[in-house]
Every structure is written in structure tokens, then in C-alpha cells.
Structure 1
Amino acid sequence: MSRINAKLTAWKEHMKKDDLKTNLLKFQSIIGLVLICVVLSFLTPRFLTVTNLFNVLRQTSLNAIMAVGLTFVILTGGIDLSVGSILAFSGVSAALVSQMGLPAPMAMIIGLLAGSGLGFINGLVITKGKVPPFIATLAMMTMARGGTLVISGGRPISGLDEGFHFIGRGMVGVVPVPVILTIITFLFAYYILTQTRQGRYIYATGSNEEAARLTGIHTDRIKLFAYTLSGFTAALAAMIIISRLGSAPPTIGDGAELDAIAAVVIGGTSLAGGIGSIFGTFIGATIIGVLNNGLNLLNVSSYYQLVVRGVVILIAVLLDRKKAD
């Protein structure tokens, strides 16, 4: 009994330290974003125009929405490499049933259920099958991408219902609908992580899973929830992108998991789990969006853009390791 009490006490102290680390990393990300914006505003006068800033938000929306689900997963101490492939499978599934004559809302619901279902399978394999998250989601990445190619025949699915157009191309006043959906998604995630018991359990699971289990937390259920949500947010991003494109290519989302993970890490969420915030993820996704936009405005080669993004991710991980020490 004394051993259990000691572990619980250590876990509570660890959580207090994590709160301080989270706040430090949050400000660190904000400072980084401000510095990047200042530099780009000097390098190109087109950066700080209203039209361009809305373009940045629109372009950031897909990565940001996917990063929300990944934040929950990484906070539990896991990883999800399959979100890009789940995005493709969900988008093609929705496009196929839309092509069959199903109304856009029903087709979108089927796409969202497909993504959530694949995320739930990830969670089951990890919790019940005791397969490491890296291996489980790597396998799902391959299977979902292969399944996408099978059901699409390797060809883009076009002929979407007109109801699809609004979610990716619509405007509410001067604000693009994808931006509104991103804000709603982040507010929902923020509420869960900061105002609910589920959110506290997510942090507890990532900080010290054994101690969390000893306090009566069903850590397997928490992980199932996190991976299902990750699949859902990938599917939601898919609905936006196929709406914007007007079709669903089976190659969409290829490599998208890297940008989403980068957004989470740059935003200060620790890959070890238990430390991070949804606000930090928003800042991280915005940093990536601003970098991509600024480099495009400066006509930097796409090859060099990959190098720059890789350097930024490496710096973020090194800072994360330094905070952990």
C-alpha cells in the first residue's frame, strides 16, 4: 500500500512540473511565431495583407484539424502514423457513396464514420493486442492506403454532390468555412482537455500510465477515445479537401501525418506524453502554415522548403528534449 501511495504522490508532483513546462513551451511557440511573422513582413510586403492572412488560415486548416486528434494521441504517450492514409480512405469512401447518388450530408457522415472506425481499430490493436503504437499505426497506414487504392481503382473519384462544395469553398461573411470548422474543432478539444474529467485522465495516462491505472482510471478506454478522435479529425480534414478539389484522388493525404505530428511537437506537446496543450498545437500548425506561405511568396524552391521545415521540426524536438531533462 505504501508503494502505491508513493507512486501517486510522485505522479501528482510530476503533474505540477508538467503544468509549468507546458506554459513555458506555449510562450516559446508564440515567440517563435511572432519572430517568423516579423521577418516575413520585412522580406515580402504581400505577407501581411488581409487576403494573404486568410489564405494562410485556409491552408493551415487541414493540418490544424488533423493535429487536434494527434494531440490527444501524443498526450497519452502514443503516436499515430496512419492519419494521412485514413484521410485518403475517408475521402474516397465519401466520394464513392456520393457518386452513387447519396446526398452530401449522408456521404460526409459515412466518411466520418469510416475514419473514426479505422481510428478505433488502431486503439483496439494497441490496447487489446498490446501492439506498440508505432507498429500498429504503421500497419494501418499501409492497409488504409492500400484499401483506398482498391476501392477507387487507383483513379480519382469525381462527380461529387453539390452539397460538398460549401464545406471546403464556402464563406460565412469574409471568413472561409474551413477556418470556422478549425476554430470549432479547437474549442471543442480545448473544452475536453481543460474542463472535463476525460481531459485530466488523458494527461494522467501520458504522464504515468501505471499510476493512473492505480487511481482507477481506465487507461485503455482513454487510449481508445484518443485514437478514435484522431481518425475522426483526419476524416473531417478529408471532407474539406475533397470539397476544395471537387474530387477525391486516392493519393490525397500522402505524407500529411508528418506535418500534423510536426504541428503538435512544435506546439510544445512532448512526444513522451503528458505535457502539452491544444493552444500550443494551434500555434504549431500556424507556424507551419506561415512558413509554407512565406516561402512560397519568396519563390523558394519546394526542395528547400522541405529542408527548412525539417530544420524547424528538429529544433522543436531538441527543445522538447532539453525541457524533459
Structure 2
Amino acid sequence: MAPAEPGTRASTDPGLRARLVQISRQVPGPLIGLIVILVVFSFLSPYFLTTRNLLDIFSQISEIGIMAVGSALVIITGGIDLSVGAVLAVSLMLTAWLYRDFQIAFPIAMFAGLLLGALIGLLNGVLATYARIQPFVATLATMSACSGIALYITNGSPVTGFPDYFTALTALHIAGIPLQTIILVSVYLIAAFWLKFRPNGRALYALGGNEEVARLSGLNVQRIKVGVYVIAGFLAALAGMIVGSRLDSAQPTAGLSDLLSVIAVVVIGGASLAGGSGSMLGTFIGLLIIGVLQNGMSLIDVSPNLQPVVIGAAIILAVLTDRRAR
């Protein structure tokens, strides 16, 4: 019996190693990075792993996370949307402008802001498909235009004094969870379901993988791409409403500085800028990484001027990891 033991271990060890390798491949790389970051900050700050701080993280990243969903959908198709931050600003400013200067009922003004976001997304989609302008150029142009309009309609001054029921939305908690966090998670679940189980959602991967093959397979490429940009614009406007509710003001520059974070969330989450890959789970993990990094660095008194440097390094690391995996 004794001589057989080494042979038995030798025969089973390769199978065990293969199973371990298979299990490790099923664990998303960004998830491992998130766990490492959580452990590091839990040691660096005693206030990090408190319930209040964790809920604050979700509240702080809600608008970035919602915009990241639309950006992820666009990037999966092989495009890019640089205008989401500007759409957030102009949609919120239009809502505030209609409510303050024209005394339009706030629900109607808010609907107009959401509609404007969807229309700007429609414009982006038309420019990127039917006009055959590179998405980078098309959305860069709309970003510039939206930023200028947001500043023009109120002469660059913020608007305050929203209805109490609107500002109370982001202060509302359901079962101890902020409403904006529930909205954030709901948006991710709906998008994940659409990508996973709906044919037109799965078609996004076909477009990003090879647009010509997708067209020859019978997919309406132009309509699908336009629809994705509309979703991105609408979600950016929805994020703007959350910002306005939380701050009780509409700033003409709101959201403009969030573009880097939005793209970082999608890229760190595993989506390829070449298109054809990405998931809502990965994007959500990327969102948590950005949120935890920003919150943790603030807790340990890292200069705000250095925080973008860390995020930039995280983007480069994520891209290099994705390229090595491919």
C-alpha cells in the first residue's frame, strides 16, 4: 500500500491543479483587486469598514455609476461617448431653468430634462451611424455644445430652490438603504438582464466583435447603435436629476469632471475599448473600485490633486491586464 501513495498523489495533483486554475479563471480579475483595496484601506483607516461609510460610498458614486452603464453599453458596441458628463449638466440646467424662469411644474420640467438627454443621445447615434462620423469626434462635438448651452441658459450661475419633495428623494431611505443606491443597483440589474437574456442585448457583443458580420447576419446595426446612444443620454440625464436632488442646486459644470471616472469604471471593469466585451458585473466592480479608492484616499488625507493620478494608474493597469489576458 505504501509504494502506491506517491503515484496516487501524482495522478490526482494535476487534476486538482486544473480545477483550481479553472476556478481562478472564473473569478473576475477586478474582483480580486477590489478585495485587496478593501483590505488595505480597512487597515489604514478605522472608519473605513463602518456601515455609514460604506453607504456613503454608494451615495457618492451613484451618478457616476448610472452614467457608466450607458457608457459600457456604447463601448461594448465598439463606440465611445464623451458627452455623458455634459449631458448631465445641460439636462439638469434645463430642468432648473424651466422651473425657475418659466414657472413650469417641476415634474414636467424634469421630464423635459430627461427627454433632452435622450434626444442628445439620439443625435450622437445619428452622427456616429448615418452621418458616419467617428464616435469620438461626434460625442466630443456634442460635449462641447452641451457644455456651452448649460453655461449660456443661466449665464453660468447655479440655480437653487428645488421643491422639497425632490430634494427629499436622495435623503429617503428604504430599509436603511438610500433611495439613490436602490436606483443605482436597479439600473445595473435591468441592464445585466437585457445583455444576458434579450436578443437585442446580446446583439451588442456581435456589433462590437465584428460589425460587418453582424450586418450580414441580419442585425439592424444602425438602429441598435442609435438605441444604445439614446440609452446613454437618458441615463446621463437621470444621473443629473440625482445630483440636483442631493445638492439642491443645478450647477452648469456639474458632471463635466466625471468623464474620467466614468471611462475608468468601464475599463477597469474589464470592457475592451475595441468593443465586443464587457459586462454589468464587471462594470459594477469597477465602480466599486473607483468609489473605494476615492473614499479611502480621502479618509487617509491623500491630496485631492493626487487622487486622479491613482485613478489614471488604475486605468493603465486594467488595460495592461486586459491585453495580457487576451
TM-score by length of 2: 0.90
Tell me whether 1:266 sits opposite 2:268 in the alignment: yes
CA distance in 2, matches of 1:27, 1:40: 21
Evaluate the alpha carbon distance shift between residue 196 and residue 74 of structure 1 in structure 2; reply closer, same or farther with a 3 A threshold: same
Aligned pairs (5 A) from 1:175-254: 175-254=177-256
Aligned pairs (5 A) from 1:1-325: 24=25, 27-99=28-100, 100-324=102-326
CA deviation after TM superposition for structure 1 residue 150, in Å = 1.2
Quote the residue 2:8 is aligned against.
Answer: none
CA distance in 2, matches of 1:26, 1:235: 33
CA distance in 1, matches of 2:161, 2:307: 34
**Letter of the structure 2 residue corresponding to residue 110 of structure 1:** A
CA distance in 2, matches of 1:124, 1:24: 39
Paired residue secondary structure (2:79): coil
CA distance in 2, matches of 1:201, 1:245: 38
Give every structure 1 segment of 4 or more consecutive aligned residues whose post-TM-superposition deviation is greater than 6 Å: none
CA distance in 2, matches of 1:25, 1:282: 17
Q: Percent identity?
A: 46
Computed over aligned residues only, the root mean square deviation of the Cα atoms, in angstroms, reads: 1.4
CA distance in 2, matches of 1:282, 1:40: 19
CA deviation after TM superposition for structure 1 residue 73, in Å = 0.1
Cα distance per residue 1:52-81 (max 9 Å; x no partner): 000011112111100000010000000001
CA distance in 1, matches of 2:83, 2:272: 19
Quote the residue 1:5 is aligned against.
Answer: none
Cα distance per residue 1:271-307 (max 9 Å; x no partner): 1101110111000011000000000000111112111
Preserved contact between residue 158 and residue 248 of structure 1 (Cα < 8 Å): yes
CA distance in 1, matches of 2:26, 2:239: 26
Larger Rg: 2
Evaluate the alpha carbon distance shift between residue 108 and residue 51 of structure 1 in structure 2; reply closer, same or farther with a 3 A threshold: same
TM-score by length of 1: 0.90
Structure 2 unmatched ranges of 5 or more: 1-23
CA deviation after TM superposition for structure 1 residue 171, in Å = 1.8
Preserved contact between residue 103 and residue 161 of structure 1 (Cα < 8 Å): no
Aligned residues: 302
CA deviation after TM superposition for structure 1 residue 24, in Å = 4.9
